[in-house]
Every structure is written in structure tokens, then in C-alpha cells.
């Protein structure tokens, strides 16, 4: 039924969990909406914001259902928030929703209006709890092979490891997916020392938050599940006092103890690209 009113579909990422980490726009979007749809664990995390709203909880495997139901209700003229933790565009519902809209022949300007509202994704939330592991190039890889064939995931792990990206692993392990993380560790160990720092962050900014800093050789010894994000350092990443820090490359330019510029660099001028690896700084 469509009585002619335009509806709105708000695709909302509400951050890692704690309400202090929701953006003001995401908070306003949830407050503005008549209907809130999401995976039941996500709904629980924002339960206190949902009073007086119609709430539709879905199971983990009902992704396409969630998207098409959200679109249908919005088309009737309602404001619907489809919610996810972190950023809804990162391993979230934004993709399936646009696929669903496209199949229906929807285009921007049609009913409903669609807005994607970004959120703090797990990798930045988790990184913040262990210092500064993402200060240089990084790759995010989901180890879930439910929707992606394992050989593709393995190829990406191999490429990221070989190219010395810091690697953030989403969906690292579950009770059923219990060998993929070990395989990933083996691949990365071909390119990086056993002592490479790793951060293992569970439930960042949630009640059961747990932060561990370990090393690549011992990665498999820790309890890692579906609420964990793993961050594996690159070959320059250092750890100290429970922190993981990836240098921006300044160690190539300055003597970190004396703060003197190294050969080939002029004090006060912007850094020149070093011939070997790092390309200097734009800041
Ligand atoms: N859209 C989400 C990611 C969904 S995929 C985002 O942008 O963050 C689900 C995976 O995200 C989990 O398996 C875990 O690896 C990671 N994750 C989500 N929330 C987390 C949190 N609070 N702490 C640690 N990892 C988290």
C-alpha cells in the first residue's frame, strides 16, 4: 500500500557498541525513525533508544529478508532505520540493500529516499584500544567463507601479507569456522617474523571488552571468536607496554633518539622520498 507519502530508508552504522561512540547523525537517524530493523544482537545494543518504535528483529541468515522488508516498509511512507554495528557499509547491510533496490528498478530520486549513515567500524574502534597499529597502509579481510569461497580469501591474505600491509581480520573465527585463522597465521608467517605484534580485541566498547597484545607465533593460543577483531602488524610494527604502534616511516628520515635528520634529508624541508621504501609524508 502506498498512500503517496515519500518514505525514507536510513542505513545506519551505530559504531562498536557504546553510545559514546555513535555519531550524532546516526543517533538522530535512529530517533527520527518509525521502524527499526536489525539483527537481534544489534537491536539489543541500542534497545534503550527504541522506546515507542516498531522494532523488527531478524536472525543472522535473514539478510536479504531484512533488506527487502526495510525497503517495502519505507516505500509505504515510513522512516525506517536499518541498523548495524560499526559502519553499515563495511561487511554490513548497505550492499544487499542497494542490490535489492536495484532489482526493483529503484534509482536515486525515487521513493524511498535512501541515506547511508557512516559509523565507527570495528577496525578503528579496536585499533584505538591498542595504540596506533593502523598508522600506515592496511588491508581489512573477513575470514568468513560463508559468502566468499575460501580460495579467494586465501589469495587476499597472501597478497596483503606479501605486500606488507597491516592486516585487520574481521570474522576471524567461530565454532564452526575453526581452521581458517590457523591457515591465515601460517600464510602471514611466510612473510613476517614470529615476533610480529598482533592485537586481539574482543567486544570493543562493549561490556565484555577484552584486549590482548601478543605476537604472530602465539596468535592461535588465544580465545578468538565472532566478537573479536585481530590486527596483525606489518614488518615495522612495534609493541611496548601492551600497545601496538606502526611507524609512519619517520625512522627512515630521523634518528629517533637524537631527532637529527639522516643523510639525504634537509632539516626544515619536507621529507624527500627515500629511495628504498617509504614515500615520505604529505603532512
Ligand atoms: N559492520 C561492522 C562489521 C560487521 S562484521 C563494522 O563496521 O564494524 C562482524 C565482525 O566485526 C565481527 O566478527 C568482528 O570481527 C568485528 N566486530 C564488530 N564489532 C566489534 C567489536 N565491538 N569489537 C571487536 N570486533 C568487532
CATH of the domain at 222: 3.30.950.10
Nearest residue to 80 (alpha-carbon basis) of 67, 98, 64, 63? 67
Residues 47 and 24 placed together within one structural domain of the fold: yes
Shared-domain flag, residues 139 and 197: yes
pTM: 0.89
Ligand 1 in contact with 239 (CB < 6 A)?
no
Residue 181 sits in the same domain as residue 241: yes
Q: State CA 254 to chain mean position distance.
A: 33
Domain match, 108 and 171 both: no
Domain match, 94 and 176 both: no
Burial class (CB in 10 A: 0-12, 13-18, 19+), 221: exposed
Position 2 in a domain: no
H or E segment to which residue 55 belongs: strand 54-58
* Statement to judge: residues 108 and 31 lie in one domain: yes
Residue among 42, 122, 171 whose CB has most ligand 1 atoms within 8 A, to mutate: 122
In a shared domain, residues 105 and 12: yes
User: 258: CA distance to ligand 1 center in Å?
Assistant: 41
Q: Are residues 140 and 214 in the same domain?
A: yes
CATH number of the domain where residue 19 is located: 3.40.1010.10
174 lines ligand 1 (CB under 6 A): no
Residues 225-257: tens digit of each pLDDT: 999 999 999 999 999 999 999 999 856 555 656
Strand partners, 86: 15
Full domain range(s) for residue 91: 8-120
Q: Is the CB of 117 under 6 A from ligand 1?
A: no
> What is the C-alpha separation between 228 and 215, in angstroms, rounded?
16
Task: State whether 72 and 151 are in the same domain.
Answer: no
Residue 12: inside a domain: yes
The alpha carbon of 235 and the centre of ligand 1 are apart by a number of angstroms equal to 25
pLDDT in tens, the chain (283 residues): 455 789 999 999 999 999 999 999 999 999 999 999 999 999 999 999 999 999 999 887 777 788 999 999 999 999 999 999 999 999 999 999 999 999 999 999 999 999 999 999 999 999 999 999 999 999 999 999 988 999 999 999 999 999 999 999 999 999 999 999 999 999 999 999 999 999 999 999 999 999 999 999 999 999 999 999 999 999 999 999 999 999 998 565 556 566 666 666 555 555 556 555 444 444 4
Number of domains in the chain: 2
Q: Does the bond joining 112 to the residue before it have cis omega, within 30 degrees of 0? A: yes
Provide the residue count of the chain.
Answer: 283
CA 91 to ligand 1 centroid distance, Å: 9
- What the block records as the C-alpha cell of 241 is 607496554
Ramachandran region, residue 208 (left: φ > 0; alpha: ψ -120 to 50; beta: rest): alpha
263 found inside a domain: no
Judge if 32 and 86 occupy the same domain. Answer: yes
Both 146 and 234 in one domain: the answer is: yes
Closest ligand 1 atom number to CA of residue 17: 22
Helices 150-162 and 180-189: crossing angle in degrees, nearest 10, is 30
Q: Would 107 be classed as within a structural domain? A: yes
- Give the Cα separation of 192 and 162 in Å (integer): 9
Q: Is residue 14 part of a domain?
A: yes
Let me know whether 113 and 128 are in one domain: no
Amino acid at each position: 500500500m502506498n498512500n503517496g507519502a515519500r518514505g525514507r530508508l536510513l542505513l545506519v552504522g551505530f559504531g562498536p557498541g557504546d553510545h559514546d561512540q555513535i555519531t550524532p547523525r546516526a543517533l538522530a537517524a535512529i530517533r527520527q525513525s518509525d521502524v527499526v530493523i536489525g539483527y537481534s544482537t544489534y537491536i539489543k545494543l541500542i534497545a534503550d533508544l527504541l522506546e515507542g518504535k516498531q522494532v523488527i528483529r531478524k536472525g543472522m541468515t535473514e539478510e536479504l529478508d531484512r533488506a527487502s522488508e526495510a525497503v517495502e516498509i519505507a516505500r509505504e511512507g515510513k522512516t525506517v532505520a536499518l541498523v548495524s554495528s560499526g559502519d553499515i557499509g563495511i561487511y554490513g547491510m548497505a550492499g544487499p540493500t542497494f542490490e535489492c533496490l536495484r532489482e526493483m528498478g529503484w534509482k536515486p530520486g525515487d521513493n524511498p529516499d535512501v541515506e547511508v549513515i557512516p559509523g565507527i567500524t570495528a577496525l578503528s574502534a579496536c585499533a584505538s584500544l591498542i595504540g596506533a597499529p593502523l598508522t600506515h597502509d592496511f588491508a581489512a579481510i573477513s575470514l568468513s567463507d560463508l559468502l566468499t569461497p575460501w580460495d579467494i580469501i586465501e589469495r587476499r591474505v597472501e597478497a596483503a601479507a606479501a605486500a606488507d600491509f597491516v592486516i585487520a581480520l574481521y570474522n576471524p573465527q567461530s565454532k564452526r569456522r575453526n581452521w581458517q585463522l590457523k591457515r591465515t597465521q601460517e600464510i602471514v608467517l611466510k612473510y613476517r617474523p614470529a615476533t610480529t605484534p598482533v592485537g586481539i580485541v574482543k567486544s570493543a566498547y562493549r561490556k565484555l571488552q577484552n584486549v590482548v597484545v601478543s605476537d604472530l607465533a602465539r596468535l592461535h593460543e588465544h580465545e578468538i571468536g565472532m566478537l573479536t577483531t585481530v590486527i596483525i602488524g606489518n614488518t615495522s610494527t612495534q609493541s611496548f607496554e601492551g600497545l601496538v604502534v606502526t611507524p609512519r616511516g619517520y625512522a627512515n628520515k630521523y634518528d629517533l633518539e637524537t631527532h637529527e635528520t639522516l643523510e639525504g634529508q634537509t632539516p626544515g624541508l619536507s621529507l624527500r622520498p627515500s629511495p628504498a621504501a617509504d614515500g615520505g609524508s604529505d603532512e
